Amino acid sequence: MRWRPISLLFKNNPDPQSPYYGRVVSTHKMLRVMESVRAAEGEGPIQALYWEMATRVHHDKNVDVPMAEVLTAVGLDPAHAAAFDDESWDDVIRPAHDDGLSLVGNDVGTPIIAIPDGNGGRIGIFGPVITRVPTGEQALQLWDGMIACMTVPGFWELKRTRTESPEVGPRPV
């Protein structure tokens, strides 16, 4: 598995006066830190770093996450925190962001999942957007259904109105 950045700041280009703006700027800057780590350490620590960031954002409701603290919590060099305000990392994020959207189009959000298409390329899909994380057999059914949809030529979309908020569950330890 390989995690790649999708920037909601780049994608949605929100008005700086929007209440959404501060959140997407902060999470975009987290992507810079993630790409700094990837450049120095490879793919190995990316999932743990993403999980730690997501836990603080979604469970702790804190988008002003102290990056040095996050990095230290997952055993990484806190010096990567300097990437948070370093716009040069946007030159790394933009092509990966564009690559993900090239698989699914621009009228989607996150997550985007890509798999090999069997012909040396990749196919992608936006989703799944879920409010509860399934486990066991139900998780496998969801994955198998998603893969089936992705591999059927001409398949584009399934959707229903969301009627409940996400349940993030207990904070991971």
Tell me the pLDDT tens digit for each residue of 132-163.
989 999 999 999 999 999 999 899 888 889 89
* Rounded mean pLDDT, 24-49: 97
Segments in the chain forming alpha helices (H): 8-12, 21-41, 46-54, 67-73, 90-104, 136-151
Structure-model confidence comparison of residues 119 and 172, the more confident one: 119
Per-residue confidence (pLDDT) for residue 99, from 0 to 100: 95
The answer as to whether 108 is a domain residue is: no
The answer as to whether 45 is a domain residue is: yes
Task: Say what the pTM is.
Answer: 0.89
- The total domain count for the chain is 1
The answer to whether the Cα torsion of 163, 18, 15, 25 is positive or negative is: negative
* Rounded mean pLDDT, 66-70: 96
Domain that holds residue 41: 8-91
For residue 1, is pLDDT > 80?
no
The answer as to whether 53 is a domain residue is: yes
Question: For residue 173, what pLDDT band results from cuts at 50, 70 and 90?
Answer: confident
> By the 8 A CB rule, do 141 and 147 touch?
no
User: For the segment 74-90, what is each residue's pLDDT rounded down to a tens digit?
Assistant: 999 999 999 999 999 99
The answer as to whether 65 is a domain residue is: yes
Closest C-alpha to 151, from 121, 129, 131, 130: 121
d(CA 74, CA 37): 11
d(CA 139, CA 145): 10
For residue 11, is pLDDT > 80?
yes
- Is omega for the bond preceding 14 within 30 degrees of 0, making it cis? no
DSSP state of 153: T
DSSP 3-state assignment of 42?
coil
d(CA 37, CA 86): 13
Per-residue confidence (pLDDT) for residue 109, from 0 to 100: 86
d(CA 99, CA 103): 7
The answer as to whether 19 is a domain residue is: yes
d(CA 27, CA 21): 10
User: For the segment 93-133, what is each residue's pLDDT rounded down to a tens digit?
Assistant: 999 999 999 999 998 888 999 999 989 999 999 999 999 98
Residue-averaged pLDDT of the chain: 93
> By the 8 A CB rule, do 29 and 17 touch?
no
The answer as to whether 97 is a domain residue is: no
The answer as to whether 141 is a domain residue is: no
The answer as to whether 75 is a domain residue is: yes
Tokens of 46: 């990316």
For residue 73, is pLDDT > 90?
yes
